Chains A and B, each alone.
Chain A
Amino acid sequence: MGISVEGANKRFGDFQALEDVSIEVPTGSLTALLGPSGSGKSTLLRAIAGLESLDSGGVLIDGEDVGGKPTQKREVGFVFQHYAAFKHMTVYENVGFGLKIRKWDKRKISARVHELLDLVQLPGLADRYPSQLSGGQRQRMALARALAVQPQVLLLDEPFGALDAKVRKDLRTWLRNLHDEMHVTTIFVTHDQEEAMDVAGQLVVMNEGRVEQSGSADELYENPANEFVMSFVGEVNRLGDHFVRPHDMEVVLDPDERTQEGLVQRIVTLGFEVRVELVLSDGTEVWAQLTRAELQRLELREGQIAYLRPVQAKSFNGSSPSLSDGASTPLGSQDGGDAGIPAAV
């Protein structure tokens, strides 16, 4: 039940939505397609479902080329950002829709629908209409509806995008647990790197219609293939040609040959974490992430001079590796020199 996409291209008029995209999604995995809006991630997902046709390239589900198959024959479960609930049907009818289409026996449908409503924690809401549910409940109903027909693969298009922060967090934990139970091959699209890292075992980072890098969350964070991936999967400061994560910025009060001078502009305390914003002598704005204890030890105040020492930095020498190798899974292929601690620029 693995999914592969090979050399997919798609244009909408002048806009290149997908450019030679190839991805490999192992059977039973939970994979996130991560990227900013317009990066082609939703188009790719829709192409896998057959909701969008490709200009060239192929989609294989479980080794079979599904290019000629219409959506209704692909056996994919699809969950939309705005739920796509059938408004004129009750929760029960929504969840049972696919089974009714498959001409299941009424009693079997009833058993299956109630089983799924229990699974998505909506028991007792069978007779409600979607308009009587909260956003989170609607999305769980949509998920139950998609799972009812036992799809080969489950595709989620920004499933939590329309929900508020608290519900989002609950639902993604819940989705991860659900996936651990069901083991159905799942791809889910998001623009939220934290969500992607939290939920998915494997990530595919997309930008401008191309795959920039794919791999596990750790791999992407530790060895980003390029500047884009580095800045997309986490916070980053730029110091000349080098990129430094805010938590790799050490703030000291005494200068040495490896430090840079900066003026403390703002100190923001976010619970345990403290965000110190500085301006360097060349005007570059950077920030360092400290703990509350570190801040107290340093006795930093806004308006004072402090010194920054990057503990770990990366440079990509201006080249974008994904361009050279056709955007197919450049797993860990980073050509950035890490550990290089830059001298003062």
Chain B
Amino acid sequence: MTANPASRWALRVLGLGYVLALLLVPLGFIFYKTFEHGVAPPLDAITSPDGLHALKLTLITVAIAVPLNTMFGIACAILLVRHKFRGNFLIDAAINLPFAISPVVIGLSLFLLYGTTGWFEPALAEAGIKILFSVPGMVLACMFVSLPFVVRETVPVLQEIGTEQEQAASTLGANAWQTFWRVTLPAIRWGVAYGVVLTTARVLGEFGAVSVVSGSISGQTQTLPLFVEKQYENFNLPGAFGASVLLALLALMTLLAMNFLKRKEDA
């Protein structure tokens, strides 16, 4: 199809141009605007008490939501691939729901469940647990929207490695738990790692669902994306841009960390 050089070049230019126009130009522009007047204005905004709190809250959400969804994701992938049962396809389809439903709707559904008139409200209120407008609700929202990533990345890898290595482990005396830790998990680790990176990026950047359940109270229930929006609404553009760049850097670091680990292993 790409036999002649002219069409090959045309394809390259098209591909690069597309990426450039859609991704790199807007992102580059943010970097440019952020540091237009030096490092001080964005740095001030981020190091303000509200900014630091937003950063801390974002990291806390990641620290809770990502490990939980990773564990669930691996377990779910193993269930789907290794233990065929009736109704399997229902779970498989349900896992995709967060992809299909708008995050705002997800936030709203949590609001209805845990809100003052929600199903779970009486029991939770009795126990003194506050879900909405506090960290648990935000973590829940983040977990909901990032649920599919680890499952979706792990399922194909599990299918590809097949069951022979696991069977070999069992003939060598390993029980199911030992087989999982020593054989299955190492074999699927890069699929899982990729899922973790995607989950982390999603949790870092989640706006819609968190916005609904958190109430976006400055210095209390504001993650970095909410902080960006608030700064932008208040015409504090350096603050908004600074926090945006910080978010982008966090996501980039996650990607780099995975690449670094992978390269170290290959070496």
A residues engaging B (CB < 8 A)? 49, 51, 70-78, 80, 82, 84-89, 97-98, 101-102, 142, 145-146, 148-149
Are A51 and B183 in contact, with the CB atoms below 8 A? no
- Residues of B39-91 whose CB lies within 8 A of A: none
CB of B172 closer than 8 Å to a CB of A: yes
The answer to whether B164 and A145 touch across the interface, beta carbons within 8 angstroms, is no
The A/B interface has a contact count, at CB < 8 Å, of 64
- Which residues of B lie under 8 Å from residue A72 when comparing CB positions? 170-175
* Distance in Å: Cβ of A139 to nearest Cβ of chain B: 13
- A97: B residues at CB distance < 8 A: 169, 172, 174, 182
- B187 smallest CB distance to A (angstroms): 6
Closest 4 CB pairs of A and B: A98-B172, A84-B164, A78-B171, A84-B168
Q: A80-B164, A101-B178 are in contact. Are A70 and B170 (CB under 8 A)?
A: yes
Chain B residues near A88: list those with CB within 8 A. 186-187, 189
Does A101 contact B172, Cβ atoms closer than 8 Å? yes
Q: Mark B residues whose CB is within 8 Å of A.
A: 164-165, 167-175, 178, 182-183, 186-187, 189
Q: Is the interface of B mostly helix, strand, loop or mixed?
A: helix
- Chain A neighbourhood of B187, CB < 8 A: 86-88
CB-CB nearest in chain A for B189: A88
Query: Which chain B positions have C-beta within 8 A of A73?
Result: 173
CB-nearest residue of chain A relative to B174?
A101
Identity of the chain A residue whose Cβ is nearest the Cβ of B170 in the assembled complex: A71
Q: Known: A84-B165, A87-B187. Is A51-B171 also a contact (CB below 8 A)? A: yes
Q: Please, which residues of chain B bring their CB within 8 A of the CB of A146?
A: 171-172
14 A-B contacts (beta carbon < 8 Å): A74-B171, A76-B171, A77-B171, A78-B171, A80-B167, A82-B164, A84-B164, A86-B183, A88-B189, A89-B186, A97-B174, A97-B182, A146-B171, A148-B172
Are A101 and B183 closer than 8 Å at their CB atoms? no
| Complex: chain A residue closest to B171, CB-CB | A78
* Distance between B154 CB and nearest chain A CB, rounded to angstroms: 16
Interchain CB contact under 8 A, B170 and A149: no
Complex CA distance for A148 and B169, rounded to whole angstroms = 13
A224 CA / B148 CA spacing, docked (Å): 59
Nearest A residue (CB) for B164? A84
Best-buried of B164, B169, B172, B182 by chain A (most CB within 10 Å) = B172
C-alpha gap A305/B101 in the complex (Å): 81
Residue of B nearest to A148 (CB): B172
> In the complex, A51→B186 CA distance in Å?
22
Q: How far is the CB of B175 from chain A (nearest CB, A)?
A: 6
